[in-house]
Amino acid sequence: MYARRRHTYFAMMGTCIALFVLAWGVVRIWSVPAAVGMCVVAMVIPPVAAIVANRRGPDDRWWDAPSGDPKSDEWWDEMDGKQRR
């Protein structure tokens, strides 16, 4: 799940960079409004990419959910400063 989100993030950010470069390197020669429109679209992509990359999947461990492995749970509790009962 993590690899898929990471690939999606980098694809979206690559698209964003490509839109900026194409807008001001190529498209502005023929149409400045189209180049500005491309930049507006590119401006929206990074926040959406961050949301997609940080979304928790159904199989991802949430920060306070026990994993079922006693040793791992003990280690996480120690890292979080929780006292074992």
Residue 61 has a pLDDT of: 63
Q: What is the CA radius of gyration of the chain?
A: 21
pLDDT tens by residue, 38-69:
999 999 999 999 998 888 776 666 666 667 78
pLDDT tens by residue, 15-45:
999 999 999 999 999 999 999 999 999 999 9
Checking if the pLDDT of 2 tops 70, the result is yes
Domain ranges of the chain: 2-54, 61-85
Number of Cβ within a 10 Å radius of residue 19 = 20
Is 34 within 8 Å of 78 (Cβ atoms)? no
Residue 59 has a pLDDT of: 65
Which of the two residues, 21 and 71, has the higher pLDDT score?
Answer: 21
- Structural element, H or E, at residue 22: helix 2-25
Checking if the pLDDT of 75 tops 90, the result is no
